[in-house]
Structure 1
Amino acid sequence: MYIVVTGAAGFIGSSLIRALNARGETRIVAVDSLSRADNFRNLVDCDIADYFDKDEFLPRLADGDFDDDISAMLHQGACSDTMETDGRFMLANNYRYSATLLQHCQDNDVPFLYASSASVYGASTVFREERACESPLNVYGYSKWLFDQYVRRLLPDRTSQIAGFRYFNVYGPREGYKGRMASVVWHFFHQYRAAGKVQLFEGSGGYDAGEQRRDFVSIDDVVQVNLDFLDHSERSGIFNLGSGNAATFNAVATATIN
């Protein structure tokens, strides 16, 4: 039996594979798109059984190549660029692809853990897993929100575990490939190492410079929650995954320097 990890070459996907390896698990099928060749770097220190391009994987599933061979699916793959303006591309990647994977898992009694996003809340100041609190501001957030709605419709009659995690601002090693989409923690760290100082955002929305607040959560905590749910297939639902506390950019910059 194999564990499938999509988005395997990404920040969270590769971190999950490393954690599974630490448990002695190497029967892992990695799924991703290496359209940028240097994205392979996060997989170099990972032990996997096989690799498939994301566009190759769905036909293989449909053809029955993995029937009865998948013990769990950790779906971390998505286009996570909040500046992406091609809505058709975003929905095909983040909504339709995810729905197809989930349907396969439901048809074959396979636990399905997936990455949602706190972006579904938009400008809301209340981060509660309820429809009334959700109002995404961009097509990325909408694609994640739309899939969450699909999941909500399936949850009452699910045949196996479905667990979605609304990641807040995840930071840690292995995110450098994301460039401008990497966390401010990553940017602050590398700015300080290169120039001995960090650049803060100007004040906006009633906040002074650097006083904007975000919930930052360590990649180690994100991985641990995923593994805990993997170990407890009776747990299903959509859950916030953050620290529970908002920190200012000034505080993050100070912590980085110190």
Structure 2
Amino acid sequence: MIIVTGGAGFIGSNLIHQLNAAGEREILLVDNFAPAATLSGPKFLNLHGAKFMDYMDKHEFRAALKAGEFESVKVRAILHQGACSNTLEDDGRYMMDNNFTYSKELLRFAVERLIPFVYASTAAVYGASLKFAPVAKNERPLNVYGYSKLVFDDFVRRLAPQFQSTVVGLRYFNVYGPREQHKGRMASVIHHFTKQLKESGTIRMFEGSGGYANGEQRRDFVFVDDLARMNRFFAGLLPESPKMPVKGIVNAGTGEARTFKAVADALMQVHGPGKIEYIPFPGDLKNRYQHFTEADTAGLREAGYAEPFTPLEEGVRRTFEVEPVS
């Protein structure tokens, strides 16, 4: 069995579809289908056509772990995508339970049974830093989401010398791709720009901010299929996966920052021409927004991941080859 938490979400659902394409069906999907104000649509639509052996609610799953109900279950890998990824969430108690305590519970279960454990961290741990190597001096989160992820990363780093099995944290940069329509405000700019372009023929992006001119803010945009493959690589689910345990935190980004204007241009190549309008920078994002991100991929490559990343223009095209379900 392969356990995928957050399996109905954006990255988790794409991961399950990719596992299915590789012939994997023995999958336990864990998620939380309770309504949430941050969601703009139901997550279950992401699972159209997906194949998995069982589903468990997140709370049911956590209780089952504590009760020892998985003691006799053979688990090949745990791909932990489940988290609250709302960068505007200020409930620190909820965020720490969901992103830190839950992750610790899974980590302990995995390392005690020598199960490869690959989990989602985030580039939000870098905050306003302009350097993105995964070392303490660069880690200055601007919100409790980034802080909750950093605390777990530090927990993993502190205990890593004791681990005898793979434990890898993937610091996701700006992920985009199909199956993110449910994410509301937290969806990628690729999703938001597309909606604007189709509805009004105009893409609206922030005026110059953080020292960047209009539309010149830069992010490391990474295609979700690349991240799904990276999860499988470190979890030992690919022929070229490492033969020895890998332990540590690596950046999951392309290493190449692209401007928001470049995103708009790529989308217009797919959807047709439109206009760009610059709007004032939102007040509620002040001091909690990353104007620039660019992954330092040295650690990722040293860990053995050699696959090239999907170029932005190709990733945007492939995003819209997947027919949305509505």
What band does the TM-score fall into relative to the shorter chain? over 0.9
Question: How far did residue 58 of structure 1 move?
Answer: 1.3
Following superposition of structure 1 onto structure 2, how do residues 34-113 of structure 1 map, counting pairs within 5 Å? 34-36=33-35, 38-67=42-71, 68-113=73-118
> In the alignment, is the contact (CA less than 8 A) between 2:79 and 2:119 conserved in 1?
yes
Following superposition of structure 1 onto structure 2, how do residues 4-23 of structure 1 map, counting pairs within 5 Å? 4-23=3-22
Instruction: Give the Cα separation in 1 of the matches to 2:89 and 2:34.
Output: 17
Letter in 1 for 2:149: K
Match of 2:287 in 1: none
Letter in 2 for 1:167: Y
Unaligned runs of 5+ in 1: none
Match of 1:155 in 2: 160
Q: TM-score, normalised by structure 2?
A: 0.77
Match of 1:186 in 2: 191
Task: Point out the structure with the larger helix share.
Answer: 1
| Other structure's SS at 1:5 match | strand
Deviation string for 1:78-122 (max 9, x for gaps)?
000000010000000000110111011111111100000000001
> In the alignment, is the contact (CA less than 8 A) between 2:166 and 2:235 conserved in 1?
no
Match of 1:122 in 2: 127
Instruction: Give the Cα separation in 2 of the matches to 1:21 and 1:39.
Output: 18
Match of 1:257 in 2: 268
Q: Which deviates more, 66-75 or 4-13?
A: 66-75
Deviation string for 1:52-77 (max 9, x for gaps)?
11111012112222224211100000
Question: How far did residue 235 of structure 1 move?
Answer: 2.4
Matched, 1:238 2:243: no
Match of 2:302 in 1: none
Following superposition of structure 1 onto structure 2, how do residues 135-146 of structure 1 map, counting pairs within 5 Å? 135-146=140-151
Any runs of at least 4 consecutive aligned residues in structure 1 with deviations exceeding 3 A, and if so which? none
% of aligned pairs identical?
53
Matched, 1:247 2:277: no
Instruction: Give the Cα separation in 2 of the matches to 1:141 and 1:38.
Output: 25
Instruction: Give the Cα separation in 1 of the matches to 2:159 and 2:61.
Output: 23
| Other structure's SS at 2:84 match | coil
Could you say what the CA RMSD is over the residues aligned between the two structures, in angstroms? 1.2
Match of 2:314 in 1: none
Match of 2:294 in 1: none
Letter in 2 for 1:70: V
Question: How far did residue 38 of structure 1 move?
Answer: 2.0
Instruction: Give the Cα separation in 2 of the matches to 1:44 and 1:62.
Output: 31
> In the alignment, is the contact (CA less than 8 A) between 2:77 and 2:117 conserved in 1?
yes
Question: How far did residue 255 of structure 1 move?
Answer: 1.3
Question: How far did residue 187 of structure 1 move?
Answer: 1.0
Question: How far did residue 49 of structure 1 move?
Answer: 0.6
| Other structure's SS at 1:203 match | coil
Match of 1:29 in 2: 28
Question: How far did residue 165 of structure 1 move?
Answer: 0.3
| Other structure's SS at 2:68 match | coil
Which of 125, 128, 138 is the equivalent residue of 1:133?
138
Question: How far did residue 207 of structure 1 move?
Answer: 1.4
Question: How far did residue 243 of structure 1 move?
Answer: 1.1
> In the alignment, is the contact (CA less than 8 A) between 2:165 and 2:246 conserved in 1?
no
Question: How far did residue 171 of structure 1 move?
Answer: 0.3
